[in-house]
Amino acid sequence: MSKILAVLYPDPVDGYPPAYARDSIPAVTDYPDGQTLPSPTAVDFTPGELLGSVSGELGLRKFLDAGGHELVVTSDKDGPDSVFERELPSADVVISQPFWPGYLDAARIEKAQNLKLVITAGIGSDHVDLDAAMRRGITVAEVTYSNSISVAEHAIMLILDLVRNFVPSHEWVTAERGWNIADSVSRSYDLEGMDVGVLAAGRIGVALMKRLAPFGVHLHYHDRRRLPADVERELGLVFHESVESMAKNIDVLSIHAPLTNETHHLFDDELLGKMRRGSYIVNTARAEIMDRDAVVRALHTGQLAGYAGDVWYPQPPEADHPWRTMPHNAMTPHISGTSLSAQARYAAGTREILESFLDNAPIRDEYLIVEGGALAGTGAKSYSTDGSASPGSSGHSANAVTADRKCLSPAFD
Ligand code: NAD
């Protein structure tokens, strides 16, 4: 019998289940690079259900009960008195989502003496101290590709929201009960013809550029690895050797790089100051790629015309986090990778990983980040150039829990 501890975000304020807007979701049959979709033996949910909150239990309850395993689900994750920290010492498996990360720093991993497997239901395991996991021989796995397209779609939406001034225009007719056309359009432009830059051309970055091309924009990108020439030709991409070169020559930037030592606080006063006045930034990667207060300053001076995104630090952010109230923002909670559509895929992938683990069978290589004391699978290919995890960023304390994050370096696959 195994004990599985799942940290999931709280249920909707009006209760669970919510009233769904639609009766079904389209079946996605393949990923762009040929990777196959999750293939557990079965799932005990209907795709389109809310699975990522506590009562959704990622659809795992029936399966785990039937196998005689113990499933503990909580959203209480931060601080020494949290349910997460109390249950951790006896857990064999921990599951959490980047949207509501169960931070697993070295101290927590030390307390988790039974821990054998950490699953990220989604993509991005930077909430786990991977070096500590390697030292302890803990396997870390995530559901690669499950929400990449979800994020690319979200980035498209945020770019249009900012450039066309959607949020304030919406507020004029809803909150203000007005019809203020001049107020709404005095910051509204067409995206067509603009220079749009994409930082990092990985799974999400490439998917975004494919979706942006039909808008008639001039596409620029920077990645530490250049895309094949035929991809550049097909999409009309301008490659920049440096972030600075790209930043100086664009009107809109969308960020899709991982958080690493190289990207931590990359966009500070200096780099933001090199951008065209009135640039827009969309960030659905990781918040700490930005210098938090430099973003606020740039919005106040008009150096940035808008900032949108769904990633914050810490998560959840404090009530007085300045990004909640800074001008010209289109911020949301961390939602881009947890649409109901994405949840169906990563819940199925989580079950697939659990089935492998409980059967003592190998976990799919593309889901592996760490195994047997080293980076493995996607972790070895995408998260590092030299095969080692590099230590991370601010170590900010989220409600007394230090998120001793390990920043890795994904590579283009
Ligand atoms: P990926 O591994 O497919 O691509 C990452 C790309 O970043 C690679 O092409 C790599 O070469 C490039 N890169 C790494 N370091 C770089 C650097 N210093 N400068 C320039 N390029 C660099 O990853 P992905 O699946 O496209 O995801 C990108 C990021 O998006 C992830 O790191 C993750 O944190 C974030 N993400 C967010 C959500 C969300 O819900 N908001 C969901 C999934 C992933």
Domain membership flag for residue 54? yes
Peptide bond into 47 cis (omega under 30): no
Q: What percent of the chain has pLDDT over 90?
A: 89
Same domain, 360 and 327: no
Same domain, 359 and 321: no
CA–CA separation, 383 and 273 (whole Å): 30
Same domain, 111 and 154: no
CATH number at residue 75: 3.40.50.720
Kindly report, residue by residue over 200-216, the tens digit of the pLDDT: 999 999 999 999 999 99
Same domain, 120 and 208: no
Quote the number of domains for the chain: 2
Tokens read off for 127: 């909430």
Kindly report, residue by residue over 152-166, the tens digit of the pLDDT: 999 999 999 999 999
- Domain coverage including residue 322: 148-331
> 253 C-alpha to center of ligand 1: Å?
14
Same domain, 137 and 154: no
Q: Which residue, 331, 361, 396, sits at the end of a domain? A: 331
Kindly report, residue by residue over 104-156, the tens digit of the pLDDT: 999 999 999 999 999 999 998 989 999 999 999 999 999 999 999 999 999 99
CA–CA separation, 187 and 106 (whole Å): 47
Q: Which of 149, 256, 289, 375 to mutate to test the pocket of ligand 1 (most atoms within 8 A of CB)?
A: 256
* Single pTM value for the model: 0.93
Same domain, 263 and 343: no
- Judge contact between 145 and 152, C-beta under 8 A: no
According to the model, what pLDDT value does residue 390 have? 33
Domain membership flag for residue 412? no
> 267 C-alpha to center of ligand 1: Å?
16
Same domain, 52 and 172: no
> 1 C-alpha to center of ligand 1: Å?
36
Residue 382: band (very low, low, confident or very high) from pLDDT cuts 50, 70, 90: low
Same domain, 35 and 90: yes
Domain membership flag for residue 58? yes
Same domain, 276 and 347: no
Tokens read off for 289: 């790629």
